[in-house]
Amino acid sequence: MPLLRKDFLFEPYQVYEARAAGPMRFLLIAAILRTEVIRELVALGREMDMTALVEVHTAEQLERALAADATVIGINNRDLDTFVTTLETGLALLGSVPAGRTVVIESGLKTTADLARFEAAGVRAFLIGETFMRAADPGAALRGLLA
């Protein structure tokens, strides 16, 4: 059973579709959603025993996600407008996330040292894709990252 529906959700019926397909989590991109829509979809997900991962890249998007009562915040180190990736984005935004929220750091994580920087700041969840997709042996890349 998939754990995360990772396409862009922006309508309530998509949350129902995701639940019917089995995912327990779904992705909301703050850059493309108004605060009211994020709030509505987060609440609907809770009613259905699902968790919204609300992805942000800027302080303004983080403020909107928090105002919408998101409890799981994905901080994407990749700017979706320019596709520039910098770990400093995640490090800068972490200080604005209140205690009691789960943070998932996304994009640009390539080394054990990258993970260690965020772990030292209290992060325990990471979404890593490109590093493994580009690796000749994704299993070896994962083992190396966790070493």
- Tens of pLDDT, residues 85-125: 999 999 999 999 999 999 999 999 999 999 999 999 999 99
8 pLDDT above the threshold of 90: no
* Overall number of domains in the chain: 1
9 pLDDT above the threshold of 90: no
- Residue 25, pLDDT score: 93
Q: Which CATH number do you get for residue 81? A: 3.20.20.70
Quote the CA–CA distance of 45 and 52 in Å, as a whole number.
7
Check residues 37 and 1 and name the one with the higher pLDDT. Answer: 37
- Residue 3, pLDDT score: 80
Cβ count within 10 A of residue 42: 22
Cβ count within 10 A of residue 68: 22
Q: What is the pTM of this model?
A: 0.92
Quote the CA–CA distance of 6 and 118 in Å, as a whole number.
23
- Which structure tokens are listed for 146? 């966790």
Which structural domain range is residue 28 located in? 4-146
Task: Give the CA distances from residue 51 to residues 12, 18, 58, 69, 104, in Å, rounded to whole numbers and listed in that order.
Answer: 14, 11, 21, 12, 13
- Residue 2, pLDDT score: 53
Distance spanning both ends of the chain, measured CA to CA: 28
List pLDDT tens digits, range 17-47: 999 988 899 999 999 999 999 999 999 999 9
68 pLDDT above the threshold of 70: yes
